[in-house]
Amino acid sequence: MLTTFGRTLAELLSNRLSLLDAGILQCSLGESGVAIGGVDALVRRVLSQAGSALYAPGAEGISPVARVLGEARSSHLLDVTHAKVWQQVVDMTDLPARLTAQFLQAEYSLVILPARITEESQYLRVPVPVGAYV
């Protein structure tokens, strides 16, 4: 597996690997060869393919994944919310200019979903890093 942080670089690596050695087989996860992709995309594929099997209890009554990562999260963590939707939210509301579509998308995927926040009071209790909203 060859990973990077961005899709563009993953595509470039895939093209250059062929130039480096045409005999190297490029493949999907779980197949023989080299799987190339962004870290997020590869993790998404692993989680999607594994499904609920990741949380099947082991010999001690808890899955190894749950022991390390905690109980299963909402399946919505794997959903993709397109940037266009977040821009529509910004356009329909009277939010301060610093609350951009990109901010809302990041806040939703990195704070609200992982913490399973369903109420404003829960959101307001989330610790905020010093200087995060300056």
Query: What are 66-105's pLDDT values in tens digits?
Result: 777 666 665 555 555 677 888 888 999 999 988 998 888 8
pLDDT of residue 121: 94
Chain Cα centroid distance, residue 33: 24
pLDDT of residue 5: 79
Do 14 and 47 form a contact (C-beta atoms < 8 A)?
no
Read off the pLDDT of residues 41-52 as tens digits, 9 standing for 90 and up: 887 788 778 777
Is 36 in a helix, a strand, or coil?
Answer: strand
Chain Cα centroid distance, residue 73: 12
The residue that leads in pLDDT, 106 or 70, is 106
Label residue 33 by pLDDT band (50, 70, 90).
very high
- Residue of 15, 39, 17 whose CA lies nearest to 29: 39
Q: Using a pLDDT cut of 70, give the percent of the chain over it.
A: 84
- Decide if pLDDT at 27 tops 70: yes
The residue that leads in pLDDT, 75 or 124, is 124
Label residue 58 by pLDDT band (50, 70, 90).
confident
CA 111/CA 55 separation, integer angstroms: 22
- Half-sphere exposure in the Cβ direction for 74 (13 Å, CA): 11
* Max Cα distance, the chain (Å): 57
CA 11/CA 14 separation, integer angstroms: 5
